[in-house]
């Protein structure tokens, strides 16, 4: 077991779903976010990811990093720049300096958002990001790959589909990942004897599948939940038109986002 795991973005939706369930991964957690957490269940260190000195202090003393922090939706380039581009640089630079061995980088399905929903992808799919947010996750994956080659830092590039308590629309029947499946993935990522720097699609064991994780069978991750549990309630919703981007592209509504200006 790890001694100390740093969890960035701990005040966000995913952080709040999983932080209390990571007892099997590390002896202790250092939670962090730019936003406060009302009742942190572990040590909490506020930090702006765009501040190199603060990130350096944050990472010191941690063995591994679960990097969830950053802008999580489409925004202007100016809003994304600090948290997602400078922030990822700062996390990996501090990881290199402090000898961190592994990082789980919360990438996104929006790295491949412009593939159509009838296409099946594995880890080797070329990137087709659907906006500046998706591009920031492509960049994060590239930083992680460089740091693996140059410094030996292992990273899981987890292209999370939709990690929410339930799938809430038809697209999410393919993209949903239950929080307990994410927790079991986090355990495998940090506890497996060998990680490397693989792309992993963050999805539950859904009947509807666009993404193939066979290249990471060696991790032994076996998600157990299935979005089909929610099919009836989701399929009771009105059917979008077949040419609506939410039904056409894997990135769904993100493909319709305009270029935001600050
Ligand atoms: P969220 O937006 O709820 O949480 C992100 C957290 O990052 C927030 O608490 C925010 O305060 C923090 N943050 C933003 N800027 C920061 C900065 N400059 N310094 C420090 N912290 C900062 O997002 P959510 O849903 O919890 O997602 C977590 C991660 O997983 C994000 O990186 C997101 O891009 C990624 N992801 C999530 C998916 C999902 O289905 N929830 C799908 C794909 C990717
Ligand atoms: C993401 O990358 C977002 O962070 C999340 O809020 C969802 O929109 C998710 O993708 C999705 O595609 O459902």
Q: What residue owns the CA closest to ligand 2's atom 11? A: 162
Q: Catalytic annotation on 218?
A: no
Tell me the pLDDT tens digit for each residue of 21-75: 999 999 999 999 999 998 777 899 999 999 999 999 999 999 999 999 999 999 9
Centre of ligand 2 from the C-alpha of residue 161, in Å: 7
Shortest-distance atom of ligand 2 to CA 108: 2
Model-level pTM? Answer: 0.99
Cα of 115 from ligand 1 centre, angstroms? 23
**pLDDT for 201-246, tens place per residue?**
999 999 999 999 999 999 999 999 999 999 999 999 999 999 999 9
Catalytic option among 92, 114, 115, 133: 133
Pairing mode, if any, of strands 26-33 and 2-8? Answer: parallel
- Ligand 1 mean position to 195 CA, how many Å? 23
Which ligand lies nearest the alpha carbon of 202?
1
Cβ atoms 4, 63 nearer than 8 A: yes
């Amino acid at each position: 077991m790890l001694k100390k795991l740093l969890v960035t973005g701990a005040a966000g939706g995913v952080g709040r779903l999983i932080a209390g369930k990571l007892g099997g991964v590390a002896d202790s957690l250092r939670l962090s976010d730019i936003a406060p957490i009302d009742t942190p269940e572990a040590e909490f260190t506020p930090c702006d990811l765009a501040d190199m000195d603060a990130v350096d202090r944050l990472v010191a003393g941690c063995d591994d990093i679960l990097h969830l922090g950053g802008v999580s939706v489409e925004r202007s380039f100016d809003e994304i720049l600090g948290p997602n581009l400078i922030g990822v640089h700062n996390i990996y630079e501090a990881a290199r300096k402090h000898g961190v061995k592994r990082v789980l980088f919360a990438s996104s399905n929006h790295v491949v958002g412009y593939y159509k929903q009838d296409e099946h992808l594995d880890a080797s799919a070329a990137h087709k990001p659907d906006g500046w947010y998706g591009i920031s996750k492509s960049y994060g994956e590239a930083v992680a790959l460089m740091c693996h080659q140059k410094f030996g830092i292992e990273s899981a590039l987890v292209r999370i589909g939709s990690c929410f308590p339930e799938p809430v629309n038809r697209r999410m029947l393919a993209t949903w990942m239950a929080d307990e499946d994410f927790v079991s993935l986090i355990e495998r990522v940090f506890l497996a004897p060998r990680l490397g720097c693989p792309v992993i699609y963050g999805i539950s064991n859904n009947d509807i599948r666009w993404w193939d994780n066979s290249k990471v069978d060696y991790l032994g991750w076996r998600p157990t939940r299935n979005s089909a549990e929610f099919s009836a309630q989701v399929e009771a919703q009105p059917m979008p038109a077949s040419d609506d981007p939410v039904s056409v592209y894997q990135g769904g509504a993100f493909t319709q986002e305009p270029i935001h200006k600050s």
